[in-house]
Amino acid sequence: MNQVRLTPTAVLAGVVALLAVLAAVFPFLFTGENPTDGGDTAALLSPSLQHWFGTDQIGRDVFARVVYGASHSLLAALVAVGVGLVVGTVLGLVAGTRPGALDDALMRVVDVLLSIPALLLSLTIVILLGFGTINAAIAVGVTSIALFARLARSQSVSIGRSDYVAAAYGTGGTYWNVLRRHILPNAVSPVLSLAVLQIGSAILQISTLGFLGYGTPPPTPEWGLVISEGRDYVATAWWITVLPGAVIMAVVMATHKIGSTLREATA
Amino acid sequence: MNTSRRTIDRRQLMGLGLGASSLLALSACSPDAGEADAVAETTTPRRGGVLIYFEPQTFTTLFPPQAGFYANGGIVNNIADRLLYQDPETLELHPWIASELPEVNDDATEFTFRLRPGVTYSDGSALTAANVVKNFDLYGLGDKSRQLPKSEQISNYERGEVLNESTVRFHFAAPSPGFAQAVSTMNAGLLSDASLDFDSTGFGPGQARALSASGPFVVDAEEIGTRVALRVREDYDWAPPHFEHQGRAHLDGIDYVVNSEYSVRIGALVSGQADGVREIEAPDEPRLRERGVQLHAAGTNGVDNGLNLRFRHELLRDVRVRRAIISAVDRESIMRKLFTENYPLATGVLAETAAGYKDYAGAWAHDPEASNRLLDEAGWTREGDAGVRSRDGRRLSLRVNTAIPQPRSREVMSLVQQDLLRVGVDLQINEGDYATQNLDSADLDKIQLYHSMVGRADYDVLKSQYSGENRDTLLNLDEESGEYGDPELEELLGRISSEPTADLREAASWAAQDHLVENAYLLPFFEEPQVFAFRERVRGFRTEAVARPQFYDTWLAE
Amino acid sequence: MRYIALRIGQAALVLFVAFTIASLLLAILPGDGVMARYANPELGLSTAEIDGIREASGANAPWYVQYWLSLTGFLRGDFGYSVSSGAAVSDLIGAALPSTLALAATAFVAAALVAVVIAVAATYGRVGWLRRAFDSVPSIFISVPVFWFGIILAQVFSFQLGWVSVVDPGPVESLVLPAATLVLPISAPIAQVLIRSIDEVRAQPFVRVSQAKGARPGWLLTHSVARNAALPALTIAGLVFGELVGGAVVTETVFGRAGIGQLTAQAVSTRDNPVLLAVVVLATLGYVVVNLLVDLLYPVIDVRLRKGRARPIPASRRIGDVDSAPRHAHREVVS
């Protein structure tokens, strides 16, 4: 395993990610405003020292909504990635270590999952499960199962060919034993770095569901919802759309950078 | 049965259809409408040009009884004529395809219309007495086998009768005093024989060009879901006789362009790519005025936009809880934050300009103290001053729909949500598309507070909104047992559409309103207008009585 | 030849399974097209009346009956009728497809060009900071919410600057903004793969040898590097093309374009299962065919592959195995 290369951009990405996590856990450190009740504050105030990101269409502080939204959006992204990671990895490991009919069957299912447009699939699942942040996250997660399954399969295939796995079988290891002891630990690091990379796209996909009206119910300040509710006023109050959009971009870029740095280190 | 029949004059018919209160409210048209009209008066209309008009939603059907949906009515109103014309400002009825106002018998069970000669449909067929009867047999009774529902505006319809080639009579099983007004609405738009044979599919998207009516415009082209093009009928010559403008419409056509993104619609208008837009959100009004865009606000003359408290639900059975919810909401603050003067704060169940309006100002005052007291009394408690109240381990949590066609429903509900949480009531806002909202709204377990409104310039509008036979907004009717949660309400509503005289209908409407208000069944927010915006070059834009656009008089200046 | 037959057989199987999964998913959704259309409180229909309509229209039939009917219908080329409008699904798709194909093709070609420019600048840029700047462009592109970008493009280029009309544009004009919106998420993965391939190829001995022999960078780029880097780029292109349907949902909604995406969004909101089923089959077919073509093109482009191996590994499978980044990137097309 190589060393993680700490370039300035990687450090910056780390700082952004750290801030996002801090905001998710301790939002009150960043703002004293209430994200879901604007009180008597006027609607659509432009950014000022009092309201850094201005106020939204019903007078709530946009910065507070972004800060408090971090926990919802990041949690949703983690759930989405978790679904894909767990289900996909199990499918992939089983397929990769059981060549023949089972492998073929599982990989055809994965092909099918890939071939159905992801958006259509997640919309359908949201309608099926009902509207809500976690349900949207699960729907997005399902669309990434195929991706994890392929990676896990290729990893387990190459590891399975290695001498030490053959040796482990030779010394009387059972299938599950070998899978758990030898294959899983070696396959895990590329899969995990893919998971980090996927966090960013999960955030984007969940916000797309929000845009199409299949996301989080109000007043939850989920990032996609903040943008999607404010987009009607993009010409009169650009700050509701543009500033949270910039925050999303920054966080997604940061997770990408961290993910690719990790992948280079584990490659 | 009373067979003595007399011709009623216009004042008496007005009385039949409408109450004195609406006559007093003649001046209630908006200042913006006045501005636009003034421009129209000063110059001679220019013929020609196609108007590009943006709609937020695509039409779902052009079957006239289902034209209530804004996007449907916007088209039907311009392609189909009616027997009578209702003046949107005075709400008076005028002859149109009927050459004079109808003769009505004393108990309003027979209506006789004389038809104007020489009217043809766009497919070339003639508008005859038999055809008019065929129209109302379908609209008054519906046809289940073709999945065509009857018009909610026509009550007690029995049959139509051709008296001679230019006279028809309609018979009703019980008094149907609202019928004269009902024939004036776009929900009674007249169609050719061939079109009346369509099933529900034939009226749907993709089939619009096949529809044949007698109006000043004809559907010429359709791109499903994105565009409908109407073109002028050159031989149109049967506008309501009292109109100054006769003959073909000024415009060569109207292109209805659908885009669900508000920012795109409004951007297209401001940048001059579109001529008109329906549904302007209040925050944009000042910016549009600055840029010389004309705003046109038209009232929908019906039940006000508001929240209906479904009292059959367990949590809302106690009138104290309903009162507490009503007094927790700060209507004035909501209106100030979200709307402009084009959206008048509701002072009654109905709009001031609606038939049967009664003033209940003060009935829905903001008093969170009272809410807290009432909820405490009703046994809903919480620790301290924050959090959600509960009783016997059950949380006081309710769910409201998102009224997608209504202006800023989500924002209004978000503010109501804030207000209710302050007194310890949890409000969930139902997320979801049209299908989800419609489906959930019919289910008491899913939606307990129902946000809606309905427009119709007749006393019957109250019955349309609340009766178990119609929209049943309060879900008063228990579908399983067939019983009403509040039978008295249903009985009061039934009287509105069956009393034969205007005075009695008004009294019935008032009694029903008293009942709705006293029992804290509803919380009205505002008199819902449709706000349109047009580029400076658009002149002579009008709306019909419930604010659907009418482009017959509209023209484009150089 | 046997290989080709095998691949076609696999493709047909994928298509069939996708159809079955989609049918099952749609069958268990709460509510159906009939409910969506007739349960509107405005119509005032009672539950019993709606039930009658469902019965008459066949919506009450058990799922396996509906599945069998639609499957046999599809095999005969009959896609059925839309529940919400009653129009023939084949008419709806036929009307919507050309505009979506035009959008997809334009966006794809533009994205490929943008990707090449980025990749060349990121690898052959004259100064270090320029190379690094272009190297990070793909990850910026991929972090932009597509719907957000579309709204902002419309505001700036159509409504503020007035360069293109979104209301009544000419056929070419109408493609500019929607295609530009899609370029971002599509060019990014292609550029990423190109950059990596160029780097790898340049590091290989035969390139160094050519360089030592005095080959100019331009010659090298077009001859050795481009041909070798084209393979992975072609693969990712095949994958991305299949996803353009999803991307079309967002752009067509934002720009109010008639097309498959718009049709899909409406069909979802009205639970119009026959339309949705047809869209799924169409999208799957597109994906399968494009990838089949890519697989079959592989040996044609890369002679060494033909020499080295008995038969090529399907590209769609190889890419997931070899490198996860492009796959992950392609999933984001719809965001």
**pLDDT of A128-137, one tens digit each?**
888 888 999 9
The proportion of chain A whose per-residue pLDDT surpasses 90, expressed as a percent, equals 29
Tens of pLDDT, residue by residue over C201-214, are 777 777 677 777 77
The proportion of chain C whose per-residue pLDDT surpasses 70, expressed as a percent, equals 76
**pLDDT on residue B20:** 33
Q: What is the mean pLDDT of residues B169-184?
A: 94
A52-266 to CATH, choices 3.20.20.70, 1.10.3720.10, 3.20.20.150, 3.40.440.10: 1.10.3720.10
**pLDDT on residue B189:** 96
**pLDDT on residue C328:** 35
Tens of pLDDT, residue by residue over A112-162, are 888 888 888 888 898 888 888 899 999 999 988 988 998 888 888 878 777
Confidence label for B187 from pLDDT (cuts 50, 70 and 90)? very high
H or E stretch covering B21:
helix B20-24
**Phi and psi based region of residue B142 (left: phi greater than 0; alpha: psi -120 to 50; beta: remaining):** left
**pLDDT on residue C232:** 67
**Using the beta-carbon criterion (under 8 Å), do C283 and A234 form an inter-chain contact?**
no
**Using the beta-carbon criterion (under 8 Å), do B263 and A214 form an inter-chain contact?**
no
**pLDDT on residue A160:** 77
Quote the DSSP letter at residue B252.
S
Query: Which of B57, B58, B146, B147 is the best residue to mutate to test the C interface, defined by the most C CB atoms within 10 Å of its own CB?
Result: B147
**pLDDT on residue B93:** 94
Report d(CA A97, CA A156) in Å as an integer.
6
Of chain A residues 201-260, which have a CB less than 8 A from chain C? Answer: 201, 204-205, 207-208, 211-213, 224, 227-228, 231, 234-235, 241-242, 245, 248-250, 252-253, 256-257, 260
Confidence label for C237 from pLDDT (cuts 50, 70 and 90)? low
Query: Which H, E and C letters describe chain A, residue by residue?
Result: CCCCCCCHHHHHHHHHHHHHHHHHHCHHHCCCCCCCCCCCCCCCCCCCCCCCCCECCCCCEHHHHHHHHHHHHHHHHHHHHHHHHHHHHHHHHHHHHCCCHHHHHHHHHHHHHHHCCHHHHHHHHHHHHCCCHHHHHHHHHHHCHHHHHHHHHHHHHHHHCCHHHHHHHHCCCCHHHHHHHHHHHHHHHHHHHHHHHHHHHHHHHHHHHHHCCCCCCCCCCCHHHHHHHHHHHCCCCHHHHHHHHHHHHHHHHHHHHHHHHHHHHHC
Least confident of A8-22, B421-435, C85-99, C199-213: C199-213
Q: What is the mean pLDDT of residues A94-123?
A: 84
Cβ-Cβ contacts under 8 Å, A44 against chain B: 283
B209 touches chain C (CB under 8 A): no
- Decide: residue B533, CB within 10 A, 0-12 exposed, 13-18 middle, 19+ buried: buried
Quote the DSSP letter at residue B191.
B
Tens of pLDDT, residue by residue over A221-244, are 888 888 888 888 888 888 998 999
**pLDDT on residue B19:** 36
Q: What are phi and psi of B529, to 5 degrees?
A: -100, 165
Least confident of B342-356, B430-444, B452-466: B430-444
Name residues whose C-beta falls within 8 Å of residue B286's C-beta, 6 or more positions apart in sequence. none
Give the domain ranges of chain A. 52-266
> What's the order of all strands across the beta sheet hosting B50-55?
B217-223, B227-232, B253-258, B50-55, B276-278, B529-534, B294-299
> What's the order of all strands across the beta sheet hosting B5-7?
B5-7, B103-105, B110-114, B167-172, B157-164
Tens of pLDDT, residue by residue over A158-187, are 787 777 777 777 777 777 787 777 777 777
A114 touches chain C (CB under 8 A): yes
Least confident of C93-107, C137-151, C315-329: C315-329
Tens of pLDDT, residue by residue over B73-128, are 999 999 999 999 999 888 899 999 999 999 999 989 999 999 999 999 999 999 99
Q: Chains near C, with 3+ CB pairs < 8 A? A: A, B
**pLDDT on residue B474:** 93
pLDDT at B15 over 90: no
Closest partner residue to A44 among B267, B283, B333, by Cβ?
A: B283
Give the residue, B226 or B165, on which the prediction is more confident.
Answer: B165
**Range with top average pLDDT, B422-426, B453-457, C185-189:** B422-426
pLDDT at B28 over 80: no
CA nearest B264 in A: which residue?
A232
Confidence label for C41 from pLDDT (cuts 50, 70 and 90)? low
Cβ-Cβ contacts under 8 Å, C86 against chain B: 199-202, 204, 206-207
CB A249 within 8 A of CB A256: no
**pLDDT on residue B63:** 94
Confidence label for B16 from pLDDT (cuts 50, 70 and 90)? very low
Query: Which of A201, A214, A236 is the best residue to mutate to test the C interface, defined by the most C CB atoms within 10 Å of its own CB?
Result: A201
**pLDDT on residue A69:** 92
Average pLDDT, chain C: 76
Q: What is the DSSP string of B337-367?
A: HH--TTSPBP-SSB-TTSTT----TTTT---
Query: Which of B264, B284, B288, B337 is the best residue to mutate to test the A interface, defined by the most A CB atoms within 10 Å of its own CB?
Result: B337
**pLDDT on residue C71:** 87
pLDDT at C309 over 70: no
**pLDDT on residue B517:** 96
In single-letter form, the type of residue at position A163 comes to D
CB B236 within 8 A of CB B248: yes
Tens of pLDDT, residue by residue over B340-396, are 999 999 999 999 989 999 999 889 999 999 999 999 999 999 988 888 999 999 999
**pLDDT on residue C225:** 65
Query: Which H, E and C letters describe B517-531, residue by residue?
Result: HHCCCEEEEECCEEE
pLDDT at B142 over 70: yes
CA nearest A104 in C: which residue?
C10
**How many CB pairs (< 8 A) connect A and B?**
71
Of chain A residues 204-233, which have a CB less than 8 A from chain B? Answer: 213-219, 229, 231-233
**pLDDT on residue C303:** 55
Q: What is the mean pLDDT of residues B303-318?
A: 95
**Range with top average pLDDT, A15-19, B289-293, B298-302, C222-226:** A15-19
Cβ-Cβ contacts under 8 Å, B272 against chain C: 162
Tens of pLDDT, residue by residue over B463-496, are 989 998 888 999 999 888 889 999 999 999 999 9
**How many CB pairs (< 8 A) connect B and C?**
148
**Using the beta-carbon criterion (under 8 Å), do B432 and A42 form an inter-chain contact?**
no
User: ipTM, 2 decimals?
Assistant: 0.84
pLDDT at C45 over 50: yes
**Using the beta-carbon criterion (under 8 Å), do B273 and C263 form an inter-chain contact?**
no
C283 touches chain A (CB under 8 A): yes
CA nearest A241 in B: which residue?
B263
A242: nearest Cα among B285, C156, B409: C156
Confidence label for C238 from pLDDT (cuts 50, 70 and 90)? low
Query: pTM to 2 decimals?
Result: 0.83
pLDDT at B10 over 70: no
Confidence label for A75 from pLDDT (cuts 50, 70 and 90)? very high
Q: What is the mean pLDDT of residues B270-285?
A: 90
